[in-house]
Amino acid sequence: MTTYRTLKADGHEVFYREAGDPTQPTLLLLHGFPSTSAQYERLIEYLGDDYHLVAPDYPGFGRTAPLDDATTFDRIADIIEAFVEEKGLERYSLYMFDFGSPVGFRLATRHPERVECLIIQNATAYETGLGPKMRVMGPYWEDRDANEAAMRDFLTLETTRSQYVDGVPDPATVDPDLWELDQRYLDLPDRDKVMLDLLYDYQNNLPQYPAWQEFLRDNHPPTLMPWGQNDEFFPLDGARAFLADIPDAQLEPLDTGHIATATHSGEIARSIDRFLSSQPAG
């Protein structure tokens, strides 16, 4: 059974979903943009009998209030790191999607001893993994004031819907409540500032890619990559880039778009179960 709670971490109340027995292997689920921990609701239902699942909302996402100061990936990682420590999660596997990659790799490089496995889904640690819909941010990174109006298109219902249905063979298979829920949170007061801050700050992830790649080479974490192969944000070539540093990673392309959990939660859950259950104990 899933529970819904808040926990104070680094002075900030973090909302999170949790299911399963804490004595079982823990999977920390890190969501992306523009979604929340709700994107993992079905995945949690599938895996909750055999694993301990924890899915927080970042500050300014879902049911977690924004920070008082500017939102950056460093600050989000600080909050989630404090959340992990308050929860007493000493060892865990990381599920990283989209924005979950810059949050998760910060956690992993700060505390590699905590990371058992990686599940990477449509996210990147390589510049070659940035697809055409990510590269449109370039002008915004160069001149925020001049290009902020254009970036606000990322916060519209049309764009939120497109992240769910683009690349999906049959868009009618995607529950419209998913993008409607995301948009409800995006439209709350001050959420636009949070998202614009992070879209601007995303450029500061790129200089950290070499350190993240070094983490992969040095630690060789067992890695599963269920991947929406029709994604224009983080395309399949970006998934293949990981294989240079972790050649034993299991890449599983899926015939869907960016938010693969919207169409393939069952298939992803089965892959995760096979993958985690095959890992040696301890």
So which residues are the catalytic ones?
258
19 three-state secondary structure: strand
Confirm if 256 and 230 have CB atoms less than 8 A apart: yes
DSSP strand pairing (52-56 vs 115-121): unpaired
Report the C-alpha gap between 93 and 251 in whole angstroms: 17
Q: Determine the Cα angle at 60 with ends 56 and 61, to 5°.
A: 50
Assigned token pair, 129: 């993994």
220 three-state secondary structure: coil
Report the C-alpha gap between 47 and 24 in whole angstroms: 11
DSSP strand pairing (115-121 vs 26-30): unpaired
Bridge partners for 8 per DSSP: 13
Q: How many CA atoms lie within 13 A of 246 on its CB side?
A: 24
Q: Which amino acid makes up residue 85?
A: E
| Long-range contacts of the stretch 276-279 (C-beta < 8 A, 24+) | 276/25, 276/27, 276/51, 276/93, 276/117, 277/50, 279/116, 279/117, 279/222
